[in-house]
Amino acid sequence: MVQSVATQCPACAGRAQHQSRQLTHRLASTSNRCQGTQCVQNNHWGKSVCKSRPRTCIVLQAIAQPEAAVVRETLPVDPSAVHPSSRAPTDFEYDAVIIGSGIGGLTTATQMAAKGAKVVVLEKYVIPGGSAGHYHREGYTFDVGSSMMFGMGHEGTTNLITRALSAVGKSLDTVPDPTQIHYHLPHSEAHPEGLDVKVWRKYEDFVEELSERFPHEREGVKKFYGECWAVFNSLNSLELKSLEEPRYLLGEFAKHPIACLTLASYLPSNTGDVARKYIKDPELLSFIDIECYCWSTVLAEHTPMINAGMVFCDRHYGGINYPRGGVGRIAELLVEGLQERGSHIEYKANVKDIIVKGKGEQQQAVGVRLADGRVFRGKAVVSNATRWDTFEKLLAHEEMPKSESLFRKRYKKSPSFLSIHTGVCADVLPPGTQCHHIIVEDWQTMESPLGTLFVSIPTLLDPTLSPDGTHIVHIFSPDWIDNWKSLSAPQYERKKEEVADALVKRVEAFLPGLTEATVFREVGTPRTHRRFLNRDDGSYGPIPSRRPLGMLGMPFNRTSVQGLYCVGDSTFPGQGVNAVVFSGFGCAHRVLCDQGKQAVIPLLDQGYNSLLAAVRDRS
């Protein structure tokens, strides 16, 4: 159980009762004097924070609100944090009722609204964006999930986030990140100090740095990443819409035959196989594994080559760009664009059931029912919930379609994340620190729970996200919900603190003094992700349960239930913000075609989709 330690601030005798062991420790080890309104700047954790921004002084916060210092679940539960939305009308049949305001759901909604459709987005929580939302605490703006954004460039066709925003007349100021990731990897005979690699924005600089670390694999490095460019350049020449719509596909084949054939040839292939064609050094192959694992949560042999092409090249082409104001600005702007076009979003709208008429092949989704009993009717229902939530909870009253049983054989839930959001004194960061880091101490435990550490410091790119004199350090690591079950409330709180303390210590390998420099901390577990993101087991998304055929097994947006579509990371091409934006483009396009609002060639459409359904239902 967390010890409630009656530590007294040296100058506030008796007034500060701090529950956080960490804070207590800091108070005990400081020569700080709290003067009631302002702290003296002579300790190793307060510094300019205390002097220049008394409001952010943790001592004062803790005195005023002892609970502010308690480590607790992340994300706001305060109803005043609810984003503005009025109750959406229910006496109306919408073109689409969209369950969830993740980026997949919002992209579908805005793409449809931009074409004149009337939609409603029903969000259970109080902010938009799901795992790509952000929340505010004590002067900090914390990104709920990762702060690393692809797809925000200005050229080509793969700048999907830029395009989604511009479809509803919005744009975002972004800050270019000079590196994608700074890797801190295990030591070996060849790299006794540890393998240290930075993925520079400029492709040639990255390839040169990696080749210097593996001079005997210079050719292999060039050829492997070169093949990724073949995939990316093909993607980046196509207009990206629904792969379930043959008229569009034929048009793209006619305009860009080589690009389409290239992509078709890569659909069944995995990154590990391509890497092994060119690279023999086991340490370099482990590097390719972590290059995949850190966004797909599986090793290279289970990561589709098309996705690797996208990630390994867009970081150099459009670059990694941080949205000024925080990742949640993307969702906030999409919501603005949606509302400006006369469509609706309602928060605290918990969808309990998808309403279905008919049986078997005649099943048709016609609306949804909220927990408060209200019914929203729609010509289409689009679920941005995971497939597990959609078919096992929202459709629990219906028989599971065969295609969904097959999906469950091919894919399983990935782990969730343990997430530590901290505010730290700015001077703990050595000059030249990069924004995103991956730490692996031992290749053998890279995939174990809490084995790989992810660190993001978004305030290096946008300092307005935290109070003056501080930075945000977000530490996260894959973990399973089972590790957090069957704990009493005090056990749960204590475990969160212990695990967070241990992870922060490990990050000290490259940020010495981090523990002492921490002035704010909140910890989220897989349970937090399950509760606030409404994702089964808090999962980050589907991962193949056996060696996949590239992306061929991943379902598109239509489902076996007529009028019901899925969008988000449970659909092609999987996890990632720009991936779910693609899924949203495809979903909106397919729904609009099905509703006669975009042109199709009826016979061809029918034939092609029967073929896709046959493939999807194939055991």
Ligand X SMILES: NC(=O)c1ccc[n+]([C@@H]2O[C@H](COP(=O)([O-])OP(=O)(O)OC[C@H]3O[C@@H](n4cnc5c(N)ncnc54)[C@H](O)[C@@H]3O)[C@@H](O)[C@H]2O)c1
Ligand Y SMILES: CC(C)=CCC/C(C)=C/C=C/C(C)=C/C=C/C(C)=C/C=C/C=C(C)/C=C/C=C(C)/C=C/C=C(\C)CCC=C(C)C
Q: Kindly list the residues in this chain that would bind ligand X in the complex (CB under 6 A).
A: 99-105, 122-125, 130-132, 145-146, 148-149, 349-351, 384-385, 389, 533-535, 540-541, 568-569, 575-577, 580
389 binds, among ligand X, ligand Y, none (CB under 5 to 8 A by kind): ligand X
Which of 260, 279, 292, 475 binds ligand Y (CB under 6 A)? It is 260
As a whole number of angstroms, the distance between CA 25 and CA 392 comes to: 46
Per-position x/- string for 420-449, each x denoting binding to ligand Y as judged by CB under 6 A, each - no binding: ----------------xxx-----------
Cβ-based nearer residue to ligand Y, 83 or 436: 436
* 456 strand-pairing partners: 436, 474
Question: 3-class secondary structure for 194-218?
Answer: CEEEEEECCHHHHHHHHHHHCHHHH
Residue 311, binding choice from ligand Y, ligand X, none, Cβ under 5 to 8 Å by partner class: ligand Y
Question: Which residues from 142-171 bind ligand Y, rule CB under 6 A?
Answer: 146, 148, 150
DSSP helix/strand/coil, 608 = helix
- Choose from ligand Y, ligand X, none: what does 294 bind? Cβ within 5-8 Å by kind: ligand Y
Establish if 298 lies at the interface with ligand Y (CB under 6 A): no
131: contact with ligand Y by CB under 6 A: no
**Binding status of residue 263 toward ligand Y by CB under 6 A:** yes
The nearer residue to ligand Y, 484 or 556, going by C-beta atoms, is 556
**CB of 448: closest distance to ligand X in angstroms?**
21
Q: Residue 581 corresponds to which tokens in the numbers above?
A: 């934006």
Q: Between 159 and 383, whose beta carbon lies closer to ligand Y? A: 159
**Closest residue to ligand Y using C-beta atoms:** 576
Q: In angstroms, rounded to a whole number, what is the distance separating the alpha carbons of residues 466 and 134? A: 13
Residue 352, H or E segment: strand 351-357
H helices of 302-420, in order, are: 305-314, 328-340, 387-389, 402-410
Tokens read off for 156: 């080509």
The distance of closest approach from Cβ of residue 58 to ligand X in the complex, given in angstroms and rounded to an integer, is 28
Distance of CA 256 to CAs 240, 442, 514, Å? 12, 44, 52
Q: Is 570 a residue that touches ligand Y (CB under 6 A)?
A: no
By the rule CB under 6 A, 558 interacts with ligand Y: no
Which stretch, 43-51, 109-117, 238-246, 343-351, contacts ligand Y (CB under 6 A)?
238-246
Give yes or no for residue 306 binding ligand Y (CB under 6 A).
Answer: yes
Q: Which ranges of 69-215 does DSSP label H, i.e. alpha helix?
A: 103-114, 160-167, 203-213
Q: Which of 113, 573, 584, 594 is the binder for ligand Y (CB under 6 A)?
A: 573
Closest approach of ligand X to the CB of residue 91, in Å: 21
Q: Which of ligand Y, ligand X, none does residue 331 bind (CB under 5 to 8 Å by kind)? A: none
Q: Taking CB within 5 to 8 Å according to partner kind, which of ligand X, ligand Y, none is near residue 99?
A: ligand X
Tell me which of ligand X, ligand Y, none is bound by residue 310, counting a contact when its beta carbon lies within the kind-specific cut-off of 5 to 8 angstroms.
Answer: ligand Y
Residue from 21, 118, 16 nearest 64 by CA: 16
Task: Name residue, tokens 């000079």.
Answer: 178
Q: Does 334 bind ligand Y (CB under 6 A)?
A: no
Report the residue number, 288 or 577, with the smaller CB distance to ligand X: 577
Provide the CB-side half-sphere exposure for 317 (13 A, CA): 22
CB of 556 to ligand X, least distance (A): 14
Can you say whether residue 572 is alpha, beta or left, with left for phi > 0 and alpha for psi between -120 and 50 degrees? beta
Task: Return the residue of 6, 77, 258, 264 that touches ligand Y, per CB under 6 A.
Answer: 264
User: Does residue 294 touch ligand Y according to CB under 6 A?
Assistant: yes
Q: Which of 240, 356, 567, 591 binds ligand Y (CB under 6 A)?
A: 240
Q: How far is CA 339 from CA 120, 170, 253, 346, 360, in A?
A: 10, 12, 36, 11, 37
Q: How far is the CB of 71 from ligand X (least distance, A)?
A: 23
CA 165 – CA 110 distance, rounded (Å) = 9
Q: Of 120, 126, 235, 507, which lies in the binding site for ligand Y, with binding defined by CB under 6 A?
A: 235
d(CA 54, CA 79): 27
Answer yes or no whether residue 576 interacts with ligand Y by CB under 6 A: yes
User: In the stretch 6-45, what mask flags binding to ligand Y with x, by CB under 6 A?
Assistant: ----------------------------------------
* Number of chain positions touching ligand Y (CB under 6 A): 31
**Residues 556, 80 contacting (CB under 8 angstroms):** no
How far, in Å, are 249, 329, 402 from residue 360 at the CA level?
30, 42, 11
Q: 134 or 437: whose CB is closer to ligand Y? A: 437
Shortest spacing between CB 443 and ligand Y, in angstroms: 17
Q: Is 579 in the site for ligand Y (CB under 6 A)?
A: yes
Among 98, 114, 181, 424, binds ligand Y (CB under 6 A): 181
Give the nearest distance from C-beta 298 to ligand X in angstroms: 13
Please tell me the distance from the alpha carbon of residue 227 to that of residue 265, in angstroms, as a whole number.
Answer: 12
Examine residue 573 and say whether the peptide bond preceding it is cis (omega within 30 degrees of 0). yes
Q: Which two tokens stand for residue 307?
A: 């996705």
Question: 596: part of which helix (H) or strand (E)?
Answer: none
Quick one: which of 135, 454, 484, 520 contacts ligand Y (CB under 6 A)? 454
Question: What is the three-state SS of 16-80?
Answer: CCECCHHHHHHHHCCCCCECCCCECCCCCCCHHHHHHCHHHCHHHHHHHCHHHHCCCCCCCCCHH
Q: Which is nearer to ligand Y, 362 or 445 (CB)?
A: 445
Asked whether position 515 contacts ligand Y by CB under 6 A, the answer is: no
Q: Does 583 bind ligand Y (CB under 6 A)?
A: no
**Each residue of 328-358: b (16+ CB within 10 Å) or e?**
bbbbbbbbbbbbebebbbbbbbebebbbbee
Least separation in angstroms between residue 74's CB and ligand X is 14
Which one, of 51, 75, 195, 182, lies nearest residue 457 by Cα? 182
Pairing mode, strands 179-185 and 195-200: antiparallel
385 binds, among ligand X, ligand Y, none (CB under 5 to 8 A by kind): ligand X
Q: Which two tokens stand for residue 550?
A: 């590239």
* Of the candidates 580, 568, 591, the residue with the CA atom closest to the CA atom of residue 115: 591
Determine if 292 is a binding residue for ligand Y (CB under 6 A): no
- Binding ligand Y (rule: CB under 6 A), the pick from 131, 321, 578, 598 is 578
β-strands 564-566, 381-383: how paired? parallel
Amino acid making up residue 198: K
Could you tell me the smallest distance in angstroms from the CB atom of residue 97 to ligand Y?
A: 26
The nearest distance, CB 225 to ligand Y, in angstroms, is 16
Q: Which is nearer to ligand X, 308 or 425 (CB)?
A: 308
Residues at the interface with ligand Y (CB under 6 A): 146, 148, 150, 181, 235, 238, 240, 243, 252, 260, 263-264, 294-295, 306-307, 310-311, 436-438, 454-456, 573-576, 578-579, 582
